[in-house]
Amino acid sequence: MAYKKKQSGIVMTDFRELHFDNRENPRLPAKLAGADDRDILNYMVLNVSLPDLMRSVGEKGFFGGEPLLVIPDRERHGYTVVEGNRRLGAVRLLHNPGLSAVKKNSLRSVAEGAKHKPEKIPVIVYKSRDEILDYLGYRHITGIKDWTPLAKAKYLRRLCKRSQENTPDQKCRELARIIGSRADYVRKLLCSLSVYDRIHDSGYADTAGTDDLSFSLLTTALGYSNIREFLELDWDGDVHSDKMSENRLKELTTWLFDRKEGRTRVGESRNLRMLAGVVANDASLAEFREGKTLEAAYMVSEGARRTVIDAIWDAGRKLDLAYKYARGITLDAGERKQLKLITETALAIRKLTTPEYDD
């Protein structure tokens, strides 16, 4: 077939000439790099609400106001869809729901009930992927169709590779200007992606099928300076993780992702604050490494003090609120007993924490 040159207008193209982006699609998990169409369709059916999009296209037709953005694909004889892979998948399944190996019955039902099964799809052809990058950043990072943090990070890494700036700081500032964000946010995503790739390449943990969730958890963890220092990760230097401690990365990965009896050692993401306290204290870290629970290890460090102080301030705020509305309120026997218990507990805490306290 003849390849169309880049043009500003929309070209109606047979969907059979269009191919999924299976090489540099930031929305696909790493395991699908180079995958065939069937595997990509299976993933989209299960993870990105493709049946719902099929219903929409089947009922209303293909919305021409959002053309697919494509580049020539000489190897597969057609075009690679850089932007619009979900919509291409929906059209393909409307014509042949059997292409998917999952949810076969529901996909067949949607296809059979469709009023529209478009043969030609509106596209805009570009010469290269780089020509589409700036648009993708506007649309999916600062625009109306937000990508996941992992997809954003992959996109930013692509921009970083084409940057002509010399230092990591300059690159991050340039990328921040392009996407309308902050340089520290760009650095955070790029550094986290570098660490994330090390985890996958080294096989430290099985995070298959949970790419977006595991990347978000890792990014949150690396937001704590104590955890970065534990890894010997220079967040303020290069955006790569070359000088990081491999042994400690393996430990962190195990704590975050390896499941025993249905849960990891860290558990929920809100527990990362405790983990940051544990890794910053030698005694706490030793306890955690020996098998103590995260909470128990945390209490060895400043965790106990922090827990007490936070609880005292929280109780004080709630008691202030109760005092504000107490006038005219009558308490029953159980409520009066609870109030007495609060008073006794407060005095007991004061005695424990103030040795010189005198009744």
Residues 292-306 as b or e (16 or more Cβ within 10 Å = b)? bebeebbbbbebeee
Q: Which residues contact 9 (CB under 8 A, 6 or more apart)?
A: 124
Provide the residue ranges of all domains of the chain, joining segments of one domain with +: 11-128, 149-280, 305-353
**DSSP state, 15?**
G
Residues 224-235 as b or e (16 or more Cβ within 10 Å = b)? beebbebbebbb
Location of structure tokens 């969907």: 15
**What tens digit of pLDDT does each residue of 59-95 get?**
888 887 778 999 998 888 899 998 889 899 999 999 9
Question: Helix (H, G, I), strand (E, B), or coil: what is residue 209?
Answer: coil
CATH class of 11-128: alpha beta
Could you tell me which of 52, 48, 47, 37 has the C-alpha nearest to residue 96?
Answer: 37
**What was the pLDDT predicted at 137?**
61
- Pairing mode of beta strands 18-20, 78-83: parallel
The Cα–Cα gap between 263 and 281 comes to: 24
**What was the pLDDT predicted at 104?**
87
**What was the pLDDT predicted at 94?**
94
**What was the pLDDT predicted at 222?**
92
**What was the pLDDT predicted at 203?**
73
In SS3 terms, 17-61 reads as: HEEECCCCCCCCCHHHCCCCHHHHHHHHHHHCCHHHHHHHHHHHC
User: What are the pLDDT tens digits along the chain (359 aa)?
Assistant: 433 444 457 889 999 999 999 888 877 877 787 888 889 899 889 887 888 889 999 988 888 777 899 999 888 889 999 888 989 999 999 999 999 888 988 899 999 999 999 999 999 898 888 777 766 765 556 555 567 788 888 888 888 877 777 787 888 888 888 777 788 888 888 889 889 888 887 777 655 445 777 888 999 999 999 999 999 987 766 666 677 888 999 999 999 988 877 789 999 899 999 999 999 999 999 999 999 999 999 888 776 777 888 889 999 999 999 999 999 899 999 999 999 999 999 988 888 888 776 65
